[in-house]
Every structure is written in C-alpha cells, then in structure tokens.
Amino acid sequence: MDSSHKEIKTGNKTSMKIKSRLVLISAVIILAVIFASATWLLSLTGCCNDRIKIEEKVQEVLKKGPSEVEDAVVCKSIDSNYAPIDPTDIFPSGTNEINISIKFKNFTNKDSLKVVWKYVETGEDISTQEFSPRESVSGYHSFNIRYTEGFPPGRYNVKLYFNSNLYISSDFTVQ
C-alpha cells in the first residue's frame, strides 16, 4: 500500500474514535438530562403534596374558626365538665369556694387564659392562675379560690385575660 492509503485508514480510525466518544458523551448528557428532569418532576410532586396538605389545614382552621372565649361566669360550683352551676354575683357568709367557669372554643396550645382574683376592700390580689391547653380543644375550664374558714365579707373582683388581653372584669360580693 502506498502511504496515502495508510493515512486514510488511520484517519478513519481516528474519526471513528472521535465519533464513538461523541456518541458516548451525548448519551451521558442525555441520561443526565433525563435524571435531572425526573428528579425535578418528583420534587414538584412533593411540593404539590405539601401545598395540598397546607390547603387542607387552612380549610380545617377556617371551618373551626378562630379561638375565642364564648362566656365566663362567676359561680358557686361547677359540674364534671367544668360548666357553671348556680352562677351568681352574691355569695352568702361562710362561702369557702368561689369559681369562674369559662366556655371557649378552638383553643390551641398557643392560647392562654389567666385570672386575677382581688379583694377590693384592701386592693390586694388574692390569687393569679393560668391555663394553656396541651392540644386543640373546645369546652370549659374553671378556676377557683378556696378559703377554708370562709371568705371575709366584702367586695371582690376577678379579671379574666384571654391571650393577655382583658376579656372580662367581674365584681361579686360575699355577704
């Protein structure tokens, strides 16, 4: 063979090697693009699921409504669910327990109630009590003060705070 013919064969081998490498590189790039696209699509699916979960949670909250205190009354006693029995603002002499029953709905662990009991005759706070639920709940909660010897006669006051805001200030009397 002449030398020009050898160069053509060598050139063909080199050209084939380059073509093979280009095909291999193209295949790797195509696989990388397919992998990246699949990963991206899977992440979109995850985002959609999170978005759907968030939308469901928002709808659940909207159905329930905001947390709120519906009622609060000073009373002589409470039942097993902490609902008031015999609401009053006048207690007889010898009374040794006074309650405040609070009806609330949609409370979460971020909500709080606080009561401050005061003996108005001296201006002194008798007791401060607080409550925050551990989980979301609706119903009643009660606070009470007890004095085994019976409360001294006079005027009293209880202030109820809902999430640090004064909800009600209620006066009552022990005769």
Q: What is the DSSP letter of 169?
A: E
Interatomic CA distance for residues 84 and 135, integer angstroms: 23
Name the token pair of 60: 């659940």
H-only helix segments in the chain: 3-64
Name the token pair of 83: 């609902």
On the question of pLDDT at 24 being above 80, the answer is no
Of 159, 158, 157, 102, which is closest to residue 132 (Cα–Cα)? 102
User: Coil, helix or strand for 100?
Assistant: strand
On the question of pLDDT at 9 being above 70, the answer is no
Q: Give me the pLDDT at residue 91, please.
A: 98
Q: Which CATH number fits domain 68-174: 1.10.472.10, 2.30.110.20, 2.60.40.2550, 3.20.20.330?
A: 2.60.40.2550
On the question of pLDDT at 5 being above 60, the answer is no
Q: Are 62 and 122 in contact (CB under 8 A)?
A: no
Which residue has tokens 């050898």? 6
Query: Each residue of 98-151: pLDDT tens digit?
Result: 999 999 999 999 999 999 999 999 999 999 999 999 999 999 999 999 999 999
User: Coil, helix or strand for 165?
Assistant: strand
Interatomic CA distance for residues 108 and 99, integer angstroms: 23
Q: At 108, which amino acid appears?
A: T
Average pLDDT (15-30) is 70
Predicted TM-score of the model (pTM): 0.66
Please list, in sequence order, all residues whose beta carbon lies within 8 angstroms of the beta carbon of residue 103, skipping any fewer than 6 positions away.
69, 70, 71, 72, 83, 139, 140
On the question of pLDDT at 48 being above 60, the answer is no
Which residue has tokens 């001294």? 152
* Alpha-carbon dihedral 101, 107, 108, 113, rounded to 10 degrees: -40
